[in-house]
Amino acid sequence: MDLFDEQWEANRELIESVLDERGDEIRLASDLAYEGADGERAEVAVDDIEEKETGYLDVGAATVDDYEPAIRESDAVFVKGALGVFEDERFADGTVGVLEAIAETDCFSVVGGGDTSRAIEMYGLSEEEFSHVSIAGGAYIRALTGEPLPAVEVLEAAAERQ
C-alpha cells in the first residue's frame, strides 16, 4: 500500500462525509500533466487513466480552465501549496494559472506555504496582488482549522507571567 492509499484509508470517512455534504462545491482535477516519452509535458484526462500511475507533475489545462471562473466569482480564496512541480517550467502551468486568476480578482485572498510564496516570486507575480501571503503553511492550516498555534501560546503565556 502506497502513501496515497494509506492516507485515503486513514481519512476515508471524513473525506466521504465532506463530499456527501459539499461535493458540489469541491472542484477536483479533471486532467493531469506528466512527462511524456519525448520529455515534454503531456496531459491526460483523469477519466482516461486506466490504472493508477505515478509521475503526475501538475494539473492540466482543463483543470485550470475549470478553476478560473470559480476563483473569479468567489468572495474569498484560500490556497495552501502549489498545484504542480512549478520549479520545472513544464509543470508550472497549474500553479501559475491559478495564482494569476487569484491575483486578477478583487476577492479576499490568502495564499500560504513557502512553495506558494516562491512560485509567486519566480513567475513575476507580486505579493501585493493578494490580501495575505504566509510562508508558514503549517501554521496557516492550523489557524484555519482552529488548532492552537504553539508560538502564539508561548507569547500568551509570557504575557500572563508579566
Cα 112–Cα 115–Cα 120 angle in degrees, nearest 5: 80
Range among 17-21, 26-30, 44-48, 98-102 rated most confident? 98-102
Tell me which residue of 98, 111, 105 sits closest to 61, measured CA to CA.
Answer: 98
Query: What cell numbers appear for 129 in the block?
Result: 496582488
pTM here? 0.79
% of the chain residues with pLDDT over 70: 96
pLDDT given for residue 3 in this prediction:
66
Q: Which position has the higher pLDDT, 58 or 5? A: 58
Instruction: Flag whether pLDDT at 135 surpasses 90.
Output: no
pLDDT given for residue 86 in this prediction:
96
* Contacts for 139 with CB less than 8 Å, ≥ 6 apart: 149, 151
Give the number of other Cβ atoms within 10 Å of residue 156's Cβ.
Answer: 11
Hey, what domains does the chain have and what are their CATH numbers? Answer: 3-161 (3.40.50.1260)
Instruction: Flag whether pLDDT at 162 surpasses 90.
Output: no
Query: What cell numbers appear for 77 in the block?
Result: 480564496
pLDDT given for residue 142 in this prediction:
84
